Structure formats: structure tokens, C-alpha cells
A and B are shown apart, each in its own frame.
Chain A
Amino acid sequence: NAGVMQNPRHLVRRRGQEARLRCSPMKGHSHVYWYRQLPEEGLKFMVYLQKENIIDESGMPKERFSAEFPKEGPSILRIQQVVRGDSAAYFCASSPVSVDEQFFGPGTRLTVL
């Protein structure tokens, strides 16, 4: 059973471009979580999704950030018009049920030039 997959592993964007980060949860997992890790900091929750639904987006910046988890395909975290402050590692996690261990992917390291 493959673990949580994230791609790309590294992403470089110039200011103003769009970044798309993909996450494929573990097989059988329908709950997906996105976290952001800034240098020298812990992980900060961004959004929690189930298939086709956003359950909790309390950690998402109000502008430029969006997330989806369609019926088919991976979950996508989209950042429009990136700025240097968006440079961070973005981790996706999945779980089979809502109250359970979260399994983390290897992360996508976004660098904004």
C-alpha cells in the first residue's frame, strides 16, 4: 500500500505566478489535510477536506489560496499570485476516518523567487 504521495517535491515559482501542489492520499483514505511549515517552525494547519467537500478551512489565508479534493483524482492546493512569503514546505496528510492518526506525505518545498 503506497503511502501519501505529493508532487512535485520541489517547486520554484516567480512572484505573481501560480503554484499547484498535488496530494494523493493513501488508498482507502477519504480525509485529507494540508499543513504549511515555515523555516524553523512547526506545522500549521491550513485546510481539511473530504471527497468533494471542504470541512474546515480555518487555517487558510483568505486570499490567493484554495484547495479541492475532487471525486476523482488528487487533492490540489492552489496558490495564486505567489509572493516570497509563500516559500515554505507544504505537507499533505490523510486518514481513513476523521479521528485517527494522520499519515504524512514527503511534502512539497515551494520556493518563490
Chain B
Amino acid sequence: DIQMTQSPSSMSVSLGDTVTITCRASQDVGIYVNWFQQKPGKSPRRMIYRATNLADGVPSRFSGSRSGSDYSLTISSLESEDVADYHCLQYDENPYTFGAGTKLELK
């Protein structure tokens, strides 16, 4: 199975920060990476699809990028509503696999 190594596992952040979360794929997954935001007690919300595409209704301060096998989610000028858990997913190959998640916490 393809491993998605996500880092960091947690991050202490301040409002207005630029935050970057990364997933490294253990083998080539092309553009087939999604990023999800999840708040307590809620379902995951797709934020980025196909590595770099902003999902409908997602604020433009969110962006996705790819460099080789490294995939990143960047949040520019963090707002309070962005404090949540974030998960990456590869869907290039079965079984689809998620990263272990990143928890953002306010300082």
C-alpha cells in the first residue's frame, strides 16, 4: 500500500500565520491527492483536489502544491475558523490511503 507520511502531527499557530502542512507519498501518485479539513464532531470537508485545485466554496487563502512526491497544503493569513485537523489522501491507487493528520492549535 502507498504510505502518506504527513507532517507535522500537530502545530501551534497564531492568527495571521502562514501554515504549511506536508504529505510525502511512498510512491508516485501523480496529481491524485486531496486535502481535507475536519472540525470536532464534523465530517471531513474537501479543501483541495487533484493536488492543487481549490474545492468549491473554499477561501482563497488555502492552496495546494506539489514538488515531486511531496504535497503541501498552505494556509495564508490563518483565521480562527481554520483551526482544525487536516488530512491528506492519495487516490491514485487502491487502497486509497490517508496521512495520519495534522492538528492545528492556537498558541
Do the two shown chains form a genuine complex with each other?
no
Q: Which residues of B contact A (CB under 8 A)?
A: none
